[in-house]
């Protein structure tokens, strides 16, 4: 097995575990069991959990934000773009047993146990999403598609918080159907 392939398998497995059970419930032993390598092999690639998290965030955040940028750059209406953005979160929840949350959402729940640089990376992910949502909302307001009281930046923060929080609630409650209902109400809230 190629080294890069093993490294990718370790990252994929760690991400899956964090998104379903959380960082503090995941161990190298769990990864070892799924990937089929010894814990020492995982330590070869990622000497510490912090090293593993840095690699995960360096992979996850740029990928997610590129997908968001693709949505924002599309010629679709602001409402369609908002629905597609929300669909990214639904896709996360829908994968597996409807029990996955956003990687950065799960890390945010455990932020008190992260070191400072990792906290900053999670915070940066949140900020970048809010910046993009603000751009989307401004586009929708300018085009007459959205009309809501208050500031677009505050609404962007509300939307991002709602989506991250709803992933956690939907995991414990009624899954995708609950999530879709909340997203539909959100869209109605911002529409003109």
Domain residue spans in the chain? Answer: 56-190
pTM above the 0.75 mark? Answer: yes
Number of H helices, E strands in the chain: 9, 0
Q: How many residues does the chain have?
A: 192
* pLDDT per position as a tens digit, 104-155: 999 999 999 988 899 999 999 999 999 999 999 999 999 999 999 999 999 9
Reply yes or no on whether the pLDDT at 4 is more than 80.
no
Contact 79, 140 (CB under 8 A): yes
Burial 136-167 (b: 16+ CB within 10 A, else e): bbebbbeeebbebeeebeebbbbbbebbbebb
Contact 76, 137 (CB under 8 A): no
Mean pLDDT of 168-183: 89
Contact 192, 145 (CB under 8 A): yes
> C-alpha distances in angstroms, 22 versus 44, 80, 85, 99, 113?
23, 32, 24, 11, 12
Q: Which tokens sit at 120?
A: 């900053």
Average pLDDT, the chain: 94
Query: What's the gap between Cα 140 and its chain centre?
Result: 23
56-190 fold: Tetracycline Repressor; domain 2 (1.10.357)
């Amino acid at each position: 097995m190629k080294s890069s392939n093993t490294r990718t398998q370790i990252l994929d497995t760690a991400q899956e575990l964090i998104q379903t059970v959380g960082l503090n419930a995941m161990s190298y032993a769990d990864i070892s069991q799924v990937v089929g390598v010894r814990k020492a092999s995982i330590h070869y690639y990622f000497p510490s959990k912090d090293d593993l998290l840095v690699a995960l965030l360096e992979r996850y955040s740029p990928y997610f934000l590129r997908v968001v940028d693709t949505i924002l750059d599309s010629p679709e209406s602001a409402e369609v773009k908002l629905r597609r953005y929300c669909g990214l979160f639904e896709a996360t929840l829908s994968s597996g047993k409807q029990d996955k949350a956003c990687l950065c959402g799960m890390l945010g729940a455990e932020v008190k146990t992260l070191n400072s640089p990792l906290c900053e990376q999670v915070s940066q992910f949140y900020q970048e999403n809010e910046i993009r949502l603000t751009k989307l909302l401004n586009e929708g307001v300018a085009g007459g598609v959205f009309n809501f009281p208050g500031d677009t930046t505050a609404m962007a923060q509300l939307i991002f918080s709602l989506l991250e929080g709803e992933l956690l609630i939907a995991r414990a409650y009624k899954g995708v159907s609950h999530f879709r209902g909340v997203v539909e109400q959100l869209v109605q809230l911002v529409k003109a």
